[in-house]
Structure 1
């Protein structure tokens, strides 16, 4: 009888259930009822979520005004780089349509003759005051059935058509170490905007920073032909938190202008980076919100970026009332030379984000396809079941 050497026996696995792979195991056996139920439930879930997202996106109120051709004179002026120091402005009136709903407001009691607002005919008895805020409150609720069209938080965007921020060389033309404030003279990766003609490093350097959107847009509410109220807009709080407090930092210095000593502004900028917002030190330099928003490049040639958000104070606590408005634009950003266009957008937001139907449609299509697969498999299962019963009877 042939014996096994002791050394070979030492390499054998132990005679245990684990090492001999004899543990009890559960083998999943899917039944037709379980599979069809799972597919059906998935389809219901996707269809429900898709419908909710579509309804949420449809509830967003948005108005877009393309001012490329409206400000044609300014566009023509900006085609010639020689005119970079010449200011050009244009005004674009527009109307936010009215909807109907009766509302009362406590401020009107102070302005009128003592009659309760609920039983006061505001259509024939306007507020007894010349204060623009009181007049605006009256405009909010002047009709028997009148409701704010843009109620709640309102956001202003600029939108560009035909501007390719996704070009490979454009995306790489920046200095992250410079934007982090560690070395403002590190311009090695910023071609072709590394240095000025006399060799001075540019801060911020690169093609992205040099091409920043620099139109100035002011929204005004035209109460009547003689009263124009500037709508208060916030220029901070429009960036991602990680961008503002992690990816962009100013150099460590008590004086921001001295921190950028030995550098120069980008060629297409009218002022240096440390003068972007001298009134707010927390929004100046590399941590300026407009600058940070622009530096986050877009994936497609048509995109919009957040420009301002409504400051819900004074006369605009409830939002934007229906009525006549105007955009007063200082035109600086040229687009006609590359056949692009510019728009300004006013929009509200919901819990699901902006006015985009993509996610809702994706869920809806997925749910519909899942339901189609469910009914197809159910039909095939019933046909095979009937055939099996037929052969078993024979």
Structure 2
């Protein structure tokens, strides 16, 4: 008896537990209904303007009136920049030991006055018979006085500083001056962390090793001896934040470190206690370490923010150390003033003027449309109801004619009798 009732008892007990589990699951189940807020329930207020020629025209005119003056201002500002750009990549191949005119495709200049045809930019190549310290000397005329500031840049092309491995190839703590052991240097510096003798490369990495090392003389030498030489300086060319926070004087001693491989011309005998570079004060290095985003870029080398450059003929010496022809690049000497948007660049002004022109053209089109082909809003004359309604009626009639009625047609007498009975009072009908 007990054995026979045991399955029923087990079944009943199991059922009770299942019901309790279901209740618990239902209680624990969270509602997936979004909160009753305007955003969750999509009740936010919205405004959708009705665009018409009358409303779009003022907007386009307003945009044209904004963009056109800005574009004109940018164009005028860029055009007023005075500059001289010389591509001296092939100076050692094309120039000789006396001054010759630079080919026109390698030089460009913009001054307020015209340059005398007898004083067009020229160059000469001064060689010592070796590969070291060869000089490209530039001679150029400044036809009018140029107000300060005067900036000297070098421009490189086809040099991709934006490669990921290149951009990350430095150790920030080492740049700040910490004496980082070789084993603790950032792996991004590989393969330029140290040598086989376990000496540390300072500064390590690809960026420092590829530093631009053509040198510009720190003055324009006056050739006509009418004016004094024009002095230039490398002080203040780097970002002040870099100088304060990113670089410091190293705590290494000369026995621990060696220069990067490509610095052998600057440090032919390696480091000693007197020639270890102070990165905190070496602004040319700081400028180079701030990598460029595009393969063509300018980097500041020298400047004079105080003195006016007087009209006259000057020479500039450039010591050639940096090869660029191996990777198809070029290097340029750039002397320029500045504007509110930097150096001479009319592209931004042209873009603003193009946008203003497009807005003006479309506004004229909308005006002509309103004047010669006006159309009022909600004008039903532009909607063709006749053709659509007639076609739909014909379709309905055709469908009705094909339907066979399921009732008998009543006679006219029956219809008249029904109408008469409907007209009688209820009492008479009864």
* TM superposition score normalised by structure 1: 0.66
1:276 positional shift: 11
What is the distance in 2 between the residues matched to 1:167 and 1:26? 46
1:240 positional shift: 2.2
In structure 2, the partner of 1:37 is: 58
Give 1:152-301 correspondences, 5 Å limit: 152-182=148-178, 184-185=180-181, 186-218=185-217, 219-224=219-224, 229-246=228-245, 248-251=246-249, 256=250, 258=252, 262-269=256-263, 270-271=266-267, 284-301=278-295
In structure 1, the partner of 2:137 is: 91
Which structure is larger by alpha-carbon Rg, 1 or 2? 2
Kept in 2: contact 1:233–1:311 (CA 8 A):
no
Partner SS for 2:187: coil
Please tell me whether residue 304 in structure 1 is matched to residue 298 in structure 2.
yes
In structure 2, the partner of 1:138 is: none
What is the distance in 1 between the residues matched to 2:301 and 2:313? 21
What is the distance in 2 between the residues matched to 1:275 and 1:61? 44
1:55 positional shift: 0.9
Q: Pick which of 237-246 and 51-60 moved more.
A: 237-246
Cα deviation digits, residues 101-139 of structure 1 (max 9, x gap): xxxxxxxxxxxxxxxxxxxxxxxxxxxxxxxxxxxxxxx
Q: Pick which of 179-188 and 192-201 moved more.
A: 179-188
1:166 positional shift: 2.3
Partner SS for 1:285: coil
What is the distance in 2 between the residues matched to 1:304 and 1:387? 57
Higher relative contact order (CA 8 A, sep 6+): 1
In structure 1, the partner of 2:361 is: 372
**Residue 376 to residue 187, structure 1, CA distance change in 2 (3 Å):** same
Cα deviation digits, residues 183-239 of structure 1 (max 9, x gap): 5442421122221242312111111111111111113232437x8954211211112
Match of 1:59 among 80, 95, 100: 80
Kept in 1: contact 2:179–2:252 (CA 8 A):
no
Please tell me whether residue 362 in structure 1 is matched to residue 360 in structure 2.
no
**Structure 2: segments with no counterpart, 5+ residues:** 1-30, 96-129, 383-430
Match of 1:151 among 147, 152, 169: 147
**Residue 332 to residue 57, structure 1, CA distance change in 2 (3 Å):** same
Kept in 2: contact 1:277–1:288 (CA 8 A):
no
1:293 positional shift: 0.8
Partner SS for 1:57: helix
In structure 2, the partner of 1:47 is: 68
In structure 2, the partner of 1:385 is: 375
Number of paired residues? Answer: 308
1:387 positional shift: 9.2
